[in-house]
Structure 1
Amino acid sequence: MAGITSSFAPTGKQIALTFDACGGPGNNGIDQALIDLLIAEHVPATLFLNKRWVDADPVRVRLLAANPLFELANHGVAHKPLSVTGRTAYRIAGTASPMEAAEEMWANHERLTELAGHPPRFFRPGTAHYDDIAVTIVNELGATPLGFTINADFGATASATQVRHAMNTAQPGDITLAHMHRPNSGTATGMTSAIPALRANGLTFIHVPP
């Protein structure tokens, strides 16, 4: 959809990794093995944090914000698809009006600004679904709507092998999506093998460019 950044123009063989923390019942954990891997391998990543996940443990959010490898981004308040008509995505009802769409973004924008000391550059709604009016709302509220080119772990349901295979398709300019709130998923193990393989193929990791 027009107005959503889903890839970027690389200056070399660069890709950008993003991870969502969706929050809510059963989803407020952290895949510490994944975070530790990114730190050990010096891999920058953009972390899309839902307000429920943020409020479950603000201390860990401050720690993530203090690490220059990680850029914090906005994953909404209640993990709703961003819509002005209530459109459903993946069986989750979306926001039902322009005001509700703005509220789904703005409260967490303010919360992340408070915790990180500066406003987040990017917003990605629950399920990464937007309609065209919602995209305009995000832009008007001062953030860039971000999508992705590679869905690496299918909402943290993929096996480690599936994660590795998805990541191994990455090409320069890709933005990958995976999840960081389910420590028992295959994401960390899959990334453990995928990151060295991507580097062996000459790819490097950067934050999503402006």
Structure 2
Amino acid sequence: MLSVVLSALMASSASASSLFEPQLHFSPGKPSQPRVALTLDACSGDIDHRILDVLVKEEIHATIFVTARWLAKNAEAADILKRHPELFEIEDHGRNHVPAVTGSVAPYGIKPAGTLQAVSDEVLGGAEAIAQFFGTAPTWFRGATALYTDDAIQEIVALGFRVAGFSLNADMGASVDAKTAERRLGAAKDGDVIIAHINQPKRPAGAGIAQGIMDLKKQGFVFVRLNDVDAK
């Protein structure tokens, strides 16, 4: 079963409020078949075919968190995801990639939702776009920056979603170089939930993520989707 641990991060702001970064793990597999859940965010921008092509060719299971904004601009890539329901679980990353944070604190300089009504709009707007395009209803939500205020978490849960944290940040927002991304991904352990990005084809991190996926597969890791693990 999945378990969530919330770790508090104090926001550096004059109005200093607490932000939370949920950590997500799941039960380890067999010693001979360690398991990881690869979750990839599609915030805005394009599609990184270095990663997507590896996932399809190698039949790697992954959970893809998409925004409505990304879907509107990447119909061709989204159609590839849609054609492979056996591989990809599509989950909610929001309407416009707005942090699920109330108040004025701006995580990483990104303007927050500000109110619970705006948080709800972000969550439901993303879910509606997924339902329209894929014909499926998402059950997980991951907000922009993966940081939340406590009341926003409660609102998301009240809307019927689970908050998708992670235990291993492989690309630090697609900001690291390829070697670093590959090394970070290579540190995955049995039961880890990995976060990386699939929407930055011009950044070097994507090449490292693609190679890191191959490295883990060669080591015998089994890739699972969040809902598959939860079902067990």
- Superposition TM-score, scaled by structure 1 size: 0.91
Q: Does 1:20 align with 2:21?
A: no
Contact between 2:200 and 2:206, CA under 8 Å: does it hold in 1?
Answer: no
Q: Does 1:47 align with 2:68?
A: no
Contact between 2:37 and 2:193, CA under 8 Å: does it hold in 1?
Answer: yes
Greater CA drift, 65-74 or 100-109: 65-74
Contact between 2:103 and 2:115, CA under 8 Å: does it hold in 1?
Answer: yes
Counterpart CA distance in 1 for 2:183 and 2:103 is 36
Contact between 2:174 and 2:206, CA under 8 Å: does it hold in 1?
Answer: no
Q: Which residue in 2 is equivalent to 1:56?
A: 73
3-state SS, counterpart of residue 25 of structure 2? coil
Contact between 2:180 and 2:208, CA under 8 Å: does it hold in 1?
Answer: yes
Judging changes above 3 Å, is the alpha-carbon distance between structure 1 residues 97 and 110 closer, same or farther for their aligned structure 2 residues?
A: same
**What is the aligned-residue identity percentage?**
29
3-state SS, counterpart of residue 65 of structure 2? strand
1:113 to 105, 110, 131: 131
Residues 111-142 of structure 1, C-alpha deviation per residue, up to 9 Å, x if partnerless?
10111111012110100111111111111112
Cα distance, 1:107 vs. partner? 1.0
The correspondence of residues 1-210 of structure 1 with structure 2, limited to 5 A, is 1=6, 4=22, 6-12=24-30, 13-23=34-44, 27=45, 29-67=46-84, 68-208=86-226, 209-210=229-230
Contact between 1:50 and 1:75, CA under 8 Å: does it hold in 2?
Answer: yes
Q: Which one has a larger percent strand, Structure 1 or Structure 2?
A: 2
| Structure 1 spans left out of the alignment, 5+ residues | none
Cα distance, 1:183 vs. partner? 0.8
Cα distance, 1:109 vs. partner? 0.5
Q: Alpha carbon RMSD of aligned pairs, Å?
A: 1.8
Judging changes above 3 Å, is the alpha-carbon distance between structure 1 residues 45 and 138 closer, same or farther for their aligned structure 2 residues?
A: same
Contact between 2:48 and 2:198, CA under 8 Å: does it hold in 1?
Answer: yes
- Superposition TM-score, scaled by structure 2 size: 0.82
| Structure 2 spans left out of the alignment, 5+ residues | 1-5, 8-19
Counterpart CA distance in 2 for 1:5 and 1:149 is 5
Counterpart CA distance in 1 for 2:202 and 2:76 is 22
Contact between 1:80 and 1:126, CA under 8 Å: does it hold in 2?
Answer: yes
Contact between 2:24 and 2:193, CA under 8 Å: does it hold in 1?
Answer: yes
Cα distance, 1:5 vs. partner? 5.7
